[in-house]
Amino acid sequence: MGLIISAVVIGGGLLWILYLSIKGQDVDRRIVYLFVGATVALAIIFRLEFGEVATPIVKSVFDKIENLPAGSKIVLSYDFDPAMAPEVNPMANAFIRHILEKKHRLFFMSLWATGQSLLSVSLNDVLKPEFPDAKYGVDYCNLGYKAGNEGVLNVVITNFRKMFPSDANGNSLDSLPMFKDVESLKDMDLLISVGGGKPGVKEWVLFAGDPGKIATAGGSAAVSTPLLYPYWPRQLIGLLGGTKGAAEYEAELIKTHPRFKDKGMPALRMMGPQTMAHVVIIAFIVIGNVAYFRSRRKGKQS
């Protein structure tokens, strides 16, 4: 029902704009903004959702985590700020759920100052309520933020303790059981960086994954994703690009581990409004081109 109402309202509006364009009237850009806003709002109110299927570039990350033996060591780095959080936070939360569900050891860290607080939010909102049996220092630990960008990676690729003498709570790394057999990043089975700026996935590939020959995966904001495609599949085992990538991962997670179905997957919810907005933008591009070619033809005729 919501889809029908949205289609009628938005479709009707688009047809009206097409009519104005054909008549040669200019359409104020504020009308375009209003349309996009209204489309997104309607889609959110009517909770429009569409199914997602994981593409190979996303599935490869999922399969890697799914097939690692229990107890594998995985680093998850929060390299983003609140501006990127709506896009990449769902990815990070999906990774937390998947990794702990498979009983792997999760090492949190951050190369962005703002990443540490967003990491705390994930720990409080996702990890602790959904995995009450997960023990700090045994199943997961939080190393916190370290300033130095790629300089941090240059150090931790040979020695963790030199850069992180203690974790974010002040505990010495040697006091954490999960660090018993961990000397450096090279002892990790998988590195995952979630972010979209610098330092981000590219720096993890350049300074950790590639030189240390460690499997690396990424979750990136949509803006930075095209620049990371050249690294797949050799230097990056997989990449989640923007909300679409996050939604695909969540869909795969629900398919394989149905207990997460009721956990309110935000990326899957966002793809409905996203899709509707894209349809409206495509329609505007078509309308704009129709108006352009009509005016060019009129100009030639006159």
Partner 1 sequence: MTSKTAMRILTAIVALIFLISWIMKSGSGMSDSAFTNVRDGFLVTFAVFLTLSIFSFLYRDNPFYKFAESLYVGISAGYWMCYGFWSTVVGNFVPRASRSLSEFFHVPYQEHADHILIYIPIIFGLILLTRLLPKIGWLSRWSLAFIIGATAGLNLTRYLRSDFISQVSNSFIPLFVDWKGVGDFVNHISLAADGQFIAILSNWVIFVGVMCGLVYFFFSKEHKGAFGVASRVGIWILMVTFGASFGYTVMGRISLLVGRITFLFGDWLNIL
Partner 2 sequence: MKYIILLFLTCLSLCLSQAILAQTASSDPPAEAALVPSEPPAPPGNLTLKDLPNDDGHGIAVKWDLSPDDGAGAKSVISYDIYRSLSPDAPDSLWKKAGTVVLGVKSYADKGNRESDNDDYLPKKTNLYYRVYAVGAGVRSVAAAAGPVQAYDNWFNTLKVPELIFCVVFLILTVRFINMAKRGIDLYVRPLAGIEAIDEAIGRATEMGKPILYCLGIGTAGDIATIASFTILGRVARKVAEYQTSMIVPCIDPIVMTIAQETVKAGYADAGRPDAYKEDSVYYVTSQQFPYVAAVNGTIIREKPATNIYLGYFLAESLLLAETGVMAGSIQIAGTDQVSQLPFFVVACDYTLLGEELYAASAYLGREPLLLGTLKAQDYLKAIALVCIFALLALRVFTGADVIHKPFDMPWW
Nearest-Å Rg of the Cα atoms of the chain is 23
Q: By C-beta, is 68 or 273 nearer to partner 1? A: 273
User: Closest Cα partner for 79 from 202, 198, 250?
Assistant: 198
Tokens of 139: 């199943």
Q: How far apart are the first and last CA of the chain?
A: 48
Please identify which residue in 75, 99, 243, 268 interacts with partner 1, judged by CB under 8 A.
243
Residue 125 touching partner 2 (CB under 8 A): no
Residue 15 touching partner 2 (CB under 8 A): no
User: How far is Cα 268 from Cα 13, in angstroms, rounded to an integer?
Assistant: 27
Q: By C-beta, is 34 or 227 nearer to partner 2? A: 227
Please list every residue from 147 through 176 that binds partner 2, using CB under 8 A. Answer: 159
**CB half-sphere exposure, 110, CA atoms < 13 A:** 21
Residue 241 touching partner 1 (CB under 8 A): yes
**Is residue 201 a contact partner of residue 23, using CB atoms and an 8 Å limit?**
no
Q: By C-beta, is 130 or 210 nearer to partner 1? A: 210
H or E element, residue 194: strand 190-195
Binding partner selected for residue 64 from partner 2, partner 1, none, CB under the kind-specific 5 to 8 Å limit: none
DSSP of 21-80: HHHT----HHHHHHHHHHHHHHHHHTT--------HHHHHHHHHHHHSPTT-EEEEEEE-
Q: By C-beta, is 13 or 131 nearer to partner 1? A: 13
Residue 270 touching partner 1 (CB under 8 A): yes
Residue 234 touching partner 1 (CB under 8 A): yes
Segment lying near partner 2 (by CB under 8 A), choices 138-146, 221-229, 249-257, 277-285 = 221-229
**Is residue 2 a contact partner of residue 42, using CB atoms and an 8 Å limit?**
yes
- Respond yes or no on whether the N-terminal peptide bond of residue 273 is cis (omega within 30° of 0): no
Residue 216 touching partner 2 (CB under 8 A): no
Please identify which residue in 53, 223, 285, 290 interacts with partner 2, judged by CB under 8 A.
223
Residue 183 touching partner 2 (CB under 8 A): yes
Please identify which residue in 24, 37, 165, 226 interacts with partner 2, judged by CB under 8 A.
226
Segment lying near partner 1 (by CB under 8 A), choices 10-18, 67-75, 130-138, 234-242 = 234-242
User: How far is Cα 236 from Cα 300, in angstroms, rounded to an integer?
Assistant: 52
User: How far is Cα 88 from Cα 196, in angstroms, rounded to an integer?
Assistant: 8
The binding site for partner 1 (CB under 8 A) comprises 30, 33, 36-37, 40-41, 44-45, 56, 83, 85-87, 113, 145-148, 150, 154, 165-166, 170, 172, 196, 205-207, 210-211, 221-223, 225-226, 230-231, 234-235, 241-244, 270, 273-274, 277-278, 281
The binding site for partner 2 (CB under 8 A) comprises 159, 183, 223-224, 226-227
